[in-house]
Amino acid sequence: MADVFADQAVAAMVAASREPQLAVSVAELRRGGKARAALRPPGPAMPVEDRTVGGVGVRVYHQSGDAVIVFAHGGGFVLGDLETHDAFVRRLAHATGRTVVAVDYRRAPEDPFPAAVDDVLTVLDAQTAARVAVAGDSAGGFLVVQAALVRRERIDAQLLVCPLIDVTLPAATQPSVAEKGTGYTLDVAQLREWIGWWAPEKAPDPLAEDLTGMPPALVAVAEHDPLRDGGSQYAQRLTAAGVPVVHRTAVGHVHNFAQSVHVSTACAEVDAQWLRDAAQLLSGSG
């Protein structure tokens, strides 16, 4: 059966990912990410402050409420930064009414595990608000789940977009890894290489850990994403542990639809749904 994509813009992204790609350095990939971010429309206007927390760089998106979200960006533990996710984080802060603290965590290959997790925990532990949630997309989702595993009593919600949950990417138990691992915008071979640089095999496995008492979760996955099954299995294990979960699959979409809202009406629609779900989950957490 032929693949069906959410709209022509998503289909075009898939087609572009199937064209021959030039080998480029990590530095060039990072520069490209910044350049693409600069072309995206800005998110909602709000007071924003760059500073450090416990020696870790953060960007704070201020809202008037007294609750906080600690956010970790995606990028395979290698790419991504505060700029690439600025518009998305602005939308998250605006939709939820919570101040968002985005973590400029250390990345591989310069700083392997557990540097990024330590940075997220440092920022999380510094928050004084009574209610603190965590949020992340892709590899950032893995980082905030790691934080939730060791600070579950401190966190009131986990908000995940296309999260990387199982860093072993086992095709035998997660068919999406094999079915969607090549030619669907996120290349599993490349991701495996980056994961190897970061060495997260030393990290706790969310699909093996006791999830009792974990905070309520919003888990959004995409149909044509190799990470789909890992995210869905995490949602299922949370539910089995008695944790309230909102689990949605974005039909016809590829990895990290939230970064393409400016080119795809369908991406904008599922992003808006995720933001509504996040606001509703947080409104019931305190």
Catalytic residues: 138
To 10 degrees, what angle do helices 139-150 and 115-125 make?
60
In which element (H, E) is residue 11 found? Answer: helix 8-17
- In whole angstroms, what is the distance from residue 243 CA to residue 155 CA? 13
Which amino acid does the sequence have at 54? G
Exposure string for 254-285, b = 16+ CB within 10 A, e = fewer: bbbbbbbbeebebbbbbbeebbebbbebbeee
**How long a stretch of residues is the chain?**
286
Sign of CA dihedral 80, 81, 84, 86: positive
Q: Is residue 200 within 8 Å of residue 144, measured between CB atoms?
A: no
